[in-house]
A and B are shown apart, each in its own frame.
Chain A
Amino acid sequence: MSNNRVSRRQFLNYTLTGVGGFMAAGILMPMVRFAIDPALQTKTDGDFVQTSQKVADLTEEPVKVDFSYEQVDAWYTSEVTDTAWVYKSGDSIVALSPVCKHLGCTVNWNSDTEHPNQFFCACHGGRYEKTGKNIPGTPPLGPLDAYEVSEKDGFLLLGKKIANNLV
């Protein structure tokens, strides 16, 4: 039997500190977690949306790529389908929004026979160069918006709408 015996008082002190410590930790831990929670949340891939377009199939010629995502308006969730004009420029991929900067019609690539290789808006004859730059003298006042572009497993991902950085 060892000589340094634990007195009743010491024993009670140790057990109470131990149990009290656990209880305090049990209360404090969730509070701390709640306080720093936004910092712990994992970002879901920067809000990129998967498309069915293979990156390897892209060429210099713009193609229409549809992509859909869920949009929440208050309590109402709806699936929205959007379109982008996507092409390769050198090694980088360019994705342009088809929404005309004039009054919001949908522009098409190469649909005006008099002005080939341009984006054309059938509403008021607005035209854009391949880079999305608006052609002076036509109604639009700014270049087409672009989408953030990424790649995953060979498929194209489209992100947020950004200002056109090619012009």
Chain B
Amino acid sequence: MFFNVNDVKQFQSQKDFIDTALVPLLSLEFEDERIKQSSSAADFLMSLTAFVEQQFKGRLMLVPPFSYTKQTKAGLPVILLKEELQNAGFKHVIFITNDHAWTSDSEQVDVIWLPSIPLESMDKGVRKTVLEEQLKQIIPILTSKWFQS
């Protein structure tokens, strides 16, 4: 499910089944020497989460990404975010990011950290295989979360 009106309507009527929120945490950097890499990482994270959504459309909702810069990162209290989503009916709230710093919060929130892969130089077929490989890493994390409950 995406965060649009039709999918949200379906979520409201099927809360028993759609019980997982996937929240991308997106680090943006605008300095001249970092901006290119930052955009590449953002592109990767967006492509990957859309691919995950396609696979698990009926169980998880992909929330629009929460973006931050170095300066504003401190203003992003993920624990509060998790609570708010849980109050909305999502039993599982899973964050996904390229930013390694979030792994230190992994005791309080579920974070999937993935190193970003530059997709821009790949043609469509290779891109798809790379995303499929990454997806294979994510599937066991998600299913183990689902089995715990």
Number of interface residues of A (CB under 8 A): 13
**Is A81's CB under 8 angstroms from B128's CB?**
yes
| B139 at interface, CB cutoff 8 A | yes
Interface residues of A in 55-98 (CB under 8 A from B): 66, 81
How distant is the Cα of A6 from the Cα of B26 in the complex, in angstroms? 93
CB distance from A132 to the nearest CB of B (A): 17
B133 to nearest A CB, angstroms? 15
Most buried by A among B14, B17, B128: B17
Chain A 102-124 near chain B by CB (<8 Å), digits 1 or 0? 11111000000000000001111
Q: Smallest Cβ distance from B143 to chain A, in angstroms?
A: 6
Query: With the chains together, A123 CA to B147 CA distance in Å?
Result: 11
Taking CB atoms and an 8 Å cut-off, the chain A residues in 99-158 that contact chain B are 100, 102-106, 121-124, 139
Q: Verify A122–B10 contact, CB threshold 8 A.
A: no
CA distance A111 to B4 in the complex (A): 31
Q: How many inter-chain residue pairs (CB < 8 Å) link A and B?
A: 38
The reply to whether A105 and B56 contact each other, CB–CB distance below 8 Å, is yes
A124 touches B17 (CB 8 A): yes
B58 lies within 8 A of A105 (CB): yes
Pairwise interchain contact A103-B128, C-beta atoms closer than 8 A: no
Contact of B56 among A66, A123, A139 (CB under 8 A): A123
B17 touches A103 (CB 8 A): yes
Partner of A123, one of B10, B59, B124, B128: B59
Interface residues of A (CB under 8 A from B): 66, 81, 100, 102-106, 121-124, 139
Given contacts A103-B10, A104-B57, 16 further A-B contacts (CB under 8 A): A81-B128, A102-B17, A103-B17, A103-B18, A103-B57, A103-B58, A105-B59, A106-B55, A106-B57, A121-B58, A122-B55, A123-B17, A123-B57, A123-B59, A124-B58, A124-B59
User: What are 11 contact pairs spanning A and B, CB under 8 A?
Assistant: A66-B128, A103-B17, A104-B57, A105-B57, A105-B59, A106-B54, A106-B56, A122-B139, A122-B143, A123-B58, A124-B59
